[in-house]
Chain A
């Protein structure tokens, strides 16, 4: 693959100061999702009451599952005199109500701006009786004025691993030849899929975070204060003993991640690959699994790949030359772009509210087989995407990304194919499988059928066979 980006430099665009219809959320949101993926944990925001409530609502509307987030609930006095007593009271109350094994604390713009020393406060708290007897505490700095929910997510993954790694070296915590897998922000279904793949390769993994059950659980007779599931603290403590770490996300090259920390500090080899969406990127994933497990890809997945390619052939005519706008979280966009390019769809614009600085290069890497150039815009909002679509006469046949693009799709008069996060206007966002050949199969059928539906609906004849 070419390492040189063939993507043109950003064309000049109107220099908007404001953000209009954002294509991102704020950093603490990503952190709370990560904390929800730890067994027995309660996410906790150090800041105003509203942050916790707004993020709960945003996450609940996607997963349609309970999502309790505690908060230190800053008042005016707290803001002036500091939040230590609120933090202590909050931790104490969460402990007595939820009996958690861990509380995952993330900061907010307020507490970062007033310069709260959360680390110091937690050190003090651990020294008290309540703190010493209480749950494990981890914290991550997530100032909302920096980066997006995705940055908050990856920073939380790293912070948790940094703070827990190596704390337990007892042999029971050690399983020979296991892998760390840091998948990034994917769906609950994706997480279940990854666990299934690892089991099929007969390789133990520490998957982190793992909200496959905590944010997609069964109907219950009794309310669970903390839903079952999640990565265990013991597993997080033994991440340095892994044979290797795999992390998904080509754009992570600009970040310090959990995998890069484990490599630097404990010499656990880090293998960074793209989010495995579509055949090419899934091939990389399965090849990586083969190499690290020493086992061949199970027949089941070879069959899935075979059926997928067979379906690509069956559907290729409906897709060739169709034009798509892809938007959302950067690594999701990179993965989707790779998938669309390999099925003959032209990605006319790849956009994200994130700004890692690595998206253009990452997209260039996965579109080497695409003729012409692919326009990439990072750090943009939906109004900018709409304006650029009109200005450059992009004429997309569909748009693909989160439900926040519904307005854009409606204005363009084209379908929105809902993937990623958040999906607030449909059911089942947590059960969308994006990853692997099986995920690609589902995406492929969805894309083709969406276009066939347009063809059928807009035809005066209707057609019984397409």
Chain B
């Protein structure tokens, strides 16, 4: 059983235990707990990162830029400015005298060199302390260079990753509504909260094209500033990754009257339901028929493949630890489709509703954890004798050290896991990890004996 810090006792729950369900969440991480969370800056940086024709400059000492250079597998069909790392690289003298001049000069030279469609300036911890007026510098450069230059208030200590999402959305809201909307169909959407990891946005766009839905903008997968400018012309916002994008969707509903729905593109059920929900929203019979035809066609293609994997994976145990809880719902269902049981599930930033929904979804005995850490996670993996752990790079060594399979479902992944094809990829990846012969050699399976196996 895990050693759980006293301050965190109410952030871990076992389904079926006596106590009433009341999971503490949306709290600042406990000092010394070794949380898997990042910071406000991280939240902003990951959300805006995929906008490929914008300049992204990190205002602060070099670390924050180094650690986020080319960090996401967010693909672009055109420009790749987002894959470069720019920083003001503040030095001691800048900290003493202020960094505004350096920021101004850096912005000017980089805009001249790269001709971006917009620039995002990420304020890091010390910028909030030394009192740089980032907003004023941005305004000045914007006037001089004729492009939007937006301050992203992402000082690391000013909250959690979720506050960073909000800061990113605030910056986006300044771009939305500044472009022409005259040629936009009434059957149109914005894709919110897909980041085109391994080309996933392209898969999703293709489904919408086949349904006859016009995609006005993708925020932010394979994102372009000119598209985002026109986003207020769409008839519907379709929101995945609700943790990061619900705020933007709500703001756009308030400001432009655009309704939104929540979807998920992971797993067969959620993927199909998402497309149907969009079709139903438009109350267009032909579109619904086209969607049904497409889903049928896709399912006919992939279900035999899934069934093959299921035969092998049936009964295997999985653990999930992801950033946003919404993704966890889809993963539990997707694993179920593969015959697998989720014995532990947690997230960095879930809220009470999310965890309630997870509790309903999960089997008895499943551990649910908010803002967990390596010691807890490793003890859960050991206790539940897990076969595959699904998480991000920071969770990977916990699984591997214990001789447990791992599947990367975070933003560094190189396999497209969204869409129908993504479900096949997911099954293949889980299968290839669970079934590898290497586990047979690990101490977990056979101890450290050097005995010759006959």
Contact = CB atoms under 8 A, between A and B. Distances in A.
Interface of A: 16-22, 24-26, 28-29, 44, 47-58, 60-61, 64-76, 78-79, 86-87, 89-94, 96-98, 108-110, 113-114, 143-146, 148, 217-223, 225, 383, 404, 407
Given A28-B63, A53-B42, A47 B125 contact: yes
A406 to B, nearest CB: 9
Nearest to A91: B32
A103 to B, nearest CB: 9
Nearest to B102: A17
A60 B397 contact: yes
Given A22-B85, A218-B443, 5 more contacts: A49-B160, A64-B396, A66-B374, A72-B31, A87-B31
A53 B91 CA distance: 23
B302 interface: no
B32 A145 contact: no
Contacts of A73: 28-33, 35
Contacts of A26: 61-63, 66
Contacts of B102: 17
A110 B155 CA distance: 10
Contacts of A16: 109
Interface stretch (B169-177, B292-300, B399-407): B399-407
A113 B126 contact: yes
B384 interface: no
Contacts of B60: 109
Interface string B84-126: 1111111110110000001001100110000000000000111
7 contacts: A20-B85, A21-B84, A25-B67, A53-B37, A68-B375, A90-B32, A144-B63
Given A22-B69, A145-B61, A54 B397 contact: no
B249 to A, nearest CB: 26
Q: Give the top 9 A-B pairs by smallest Cβ distance, nearest first.
A: A50-B39, A26-B63, A93-B32, A90-B32, A223-B378, A90-B31, A18-B106, A48-B156, A19-B89
Contact of A20 (B61, B84, B128, B402): B84
B394 interface: yes
A58 B157 CA distance: 20
B7 A93 contact: yes
B39 A57 contact: no
B32 A110 contact: no
A51 B86 contact: no
B129 A79 contact: yes
A419 B381 CA distance: 34
Nearest to B396: A60
A379 B35 CA distance: 34
A220 B402 contact: yes
Contact of A18 (B42, B86, B91): B86
A50 B28 contact: no
Contacts of B88: 17-19
B209 interface: no
B401 A66 contact: yes
Interface in B47-82: 57, 60-70
A223 B395 CA distance: 13
A53 B62 contact: no
A92 B31 CA distance: 9
A57 B31 contact: no
Q: Which residue of A49, A109, A219 has the most chain B CB atoms within 10 A of its CB atom? A: A49
Contacts of A98: 375
Contacts of A29: 63
Contacts of B31: 71-73, 86-87, 89-90, 93
A143 B38 CA distance: 19
Interface string B394-432: 101110111100000000000000000000000000000
A54 B92 contact: no
A221 B447 contact: yes
Contacts of A61: 393
A89 B8 CA distance: 13
Contact of A54 (B42, B105, B157, B378): B42
Contact of B394 (A50, A53, A79, A143): A53
Contacts of B57: 18
